[in-house]
Structure 1
Amino acid sequence: MLRLKTSIVAVLRWLALQNCSFKGLDESVNSKNQGNFLELINFIASYNKDVNKVILQNALGNASYTFSTFQKEILQILAKNVQDKIRTETGESKFCVILDESQDRELREQMAIVLRFVDHDGILKERFFDLVHVENTSSLTLQQELYKVLSYHNLNPKNIRGQGYDGASNMRGEFNGLKALILKDSPYAYYVHCFAHRLQLALVGATKEVIPIQQFFTKLAIIVNIVDASSKRHDNILRTFASIGTVLLSIIKEGNSEQRANVDVVYDTLMSFEFIFIFHLMRELLGMTASLCQALQRRGQYIVNAMSLVSTTKDLIQNFRLTGWDDLYQKVKSFCEKHNVDIPDMTTLYTAAKGRSH
Structure 2
Amino acid sequence: MQKNLKLTSPDIQKDIVNVAAYETRNSIIQDLGDDYLAILVDESGDVSGKEQMAVVLRYIDKGGFIMERLLEIVCVTETTLSLKSALENLFLKHDLSLSRMHGQGYDGASNMKGELHSLKSLIMKENQAPHYIHCFAHQLQLTLVAIAKNQVIIALFFNMVSNIVNVLGASCKRQDTILEAYAGKVAQAIDSGEIQRSHYASLLNLLDKYSIVTDLLEDIEEKGIVPEKRAESRVLIDYLHSFEFAFSLYLMKVVLGMTNDLLVLLQRKNQDILNTMKQVRVCKTRSQNMRDEGWESLLCEVSTFCNVHGICIPNMNDDFKARGRSQRKAQQISNEHRFRMEIFNQVIDMQLQEMNSRFTEVNSKLLTCIACLSPDDSFSFFNKDRLMEFITFYPSKFSNIELLTLDNQLENYIVDLRSDGEFLELKEIDNLARKLVET
Q: TM-score band, normalised by the shorter chain? A: 0.5 to 0.7
1:171 aligns with 2:116: yes
Residue 264 of structure 1: how far off its partner (Å):
1.2
* Higher RCO (CA < 8 A, seq sep 6+): 2
For 1:103-114, list aligned pairs within 5 A: 103-114=45-56
SS for the counterpart of 1:125 is strand
Structure 1, 241-250 or 156-165: larger mean CA deviation:
241-250
CA distance in 1, matches of 2:78, 2:251: 38
Amino acid of the structure 2 residue aligned with 1:64: K
1:97 aligns with 2:67: no
For 1:190-269, list aligned pairs within 5 A: 190-194=131-135, 200=142, 202=144, 216-224=157-165, 226=167, 235-237=188-190, 249-250=219-220, 253-256=224-227, 260-267=230-237, 269=239
Tell me if structure 2 keeps the 8 A contact 1:166–1:172: no
State the match for 2:329 in structure 1. Answer: none
Amino acid of the structure 1 residue aligned with 2:235: V
State the match for 2:15 in structure 1. Answer: 73
CA distance in 2, matches of 1:298, 1:91: 30
Cα deviation code 1:192-237 (max 9, x no counterpart): 355656655556667999x8x7774353133245557566698333
Residue 112 of structure 1: how far off its partner (Å):
0.7
CA distance in 2, matches of 1:180, 1:118: 25
CA 1:316–1:107: 2 relative to 1, 3 Å: same
Gaps of 5+ in 2: 174-183, 191-204, 290-300, 319-439
CA 1:123–1:180: 2 relative to 1, 3 Å: same
CA distance in 1, matches of 2:309, 2:314: 14
State the match for 2:266 in structure 1. Answer: 296
TM-score (norm 2): 0.46
Residue 82 of structure 1: how far off its partner (Å):
2.8
1:162 aligns with 2:162: no
CA distance in 1, matches of 2:229, 2:124: 54
CA distance in 2, matches of 1:128, 1:111: 11
**Number of residue pairs aligned between Structure 1 and Structure 2:** 272
SS for the counterpart of 1:106 is coil
CA distance in 2, matches of 1:149, 1:299: 31
CA distance in 2, matches of 1:290, 1:102: 26
State the match for 1:120 in structure 2. Answer: 62
State the match for 1:354 in structure 2. Answer: 316
CA distance in 1, matches of 2:256, 2:34: 42
> Percentage identity across aligned positions?
31
Residue 93 of structure 1: how far off its partner (Å):
0.8
TM-score (norm 1): 0.55
CA 1:192–1:83: 2 relative to 1, 3 Å: same
Amino acid of the structure 1 residue aligned with 2:28: I
Amino acid of the structure 1 residue aligned with 2:17: L
Gaps of 5+ in 1: 1-57, 319-328, 334-341
CA distance in 1, matches of 2:248, 2:117: 35
CA distance in 2, matches of 1:282, 1:153: 45
Given the alignment, which residue of 76, 86, 92 partners 1:145?
86
